[in-house]
């Protein structure tokens, strides 16, 4: 079963622009994580935000969480060609399992 759904499915921007990806989920969560996957490589953890947090920053990344709307957003500022990748949100509902969404494919044009 899919808990998180990312939007848009694909995004193409110019280098230097900001990229925003959204994740909506269905049931209450304990935490939500964002991962990045470059072509041909494994997933890399970006940020974990807990249900009692509203915003977190890491370098050029900003994640927000709105538990009332059951949604999260990932903002990448001043994007670079190296940011080209698939981005996944993963939700944990308090049990053992973390469920990944289908991902947003970001393409940053140089």
Partner 1 sequence: EAGVAQSPRYKIIEKRQSVAFWCNPISGHATLYWYQQILGQGPKLLIQFQNNGVVDDSQLPKDRFSAERLKGVDSTLKIQPAKLEDSAVYLCASSPRGGVGQETQYFGPGTRLLVL
The residues of the shown chain that bind partner 1, judged by CB under 8 A, are 2, 30-31, 33, 35, 41-45, 48, 88, 92, 94-103
* 3-state helix/strand/coil string of the chain: CCCEEEECCEEEEECCCCEEEEEEECCCCCEEEEEEECCCCCEEEEEEEECCCCEEEECCEEEEEECCCCEEEEEECCCCHHHCEEEEEEEECCCCCEEECCCEEEEEEC
**What is the closest distance, in whole angstroms, from the C-beta atom of residue 15 to partner 1 in the complex?**
25
**What is the closest distance, in whole angstroms, from the C-beta atom of residue 16 to partner 1 in the complex?**
28
Cβ closest to partner 1, residue 54 vs residue 97: 97
């Amino acid at each position: 079963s899919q808990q998180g759904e990312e939007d848009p499915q694909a995004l193409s921007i110019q280098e230097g622009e900001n990229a925003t990806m959204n994740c909506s989920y269905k049931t209450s969560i304990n935490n939500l994580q964002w991962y990045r996957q470059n072509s041909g490589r494994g997933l890399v953890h970006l940020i974990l935000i807990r249900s009692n947090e509203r915003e977190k920053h890491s370098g050029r990344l900003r994640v927000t969480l709105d538990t009332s709307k059951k949604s999260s957003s990932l903002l990448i500022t001043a994007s670079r060609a190296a940011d080209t990748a698939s981005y996944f949100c993963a939700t944990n509902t308090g049990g053992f399992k973390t469920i990944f969404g289908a991902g947003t494919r970001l393409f940053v044009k140089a």
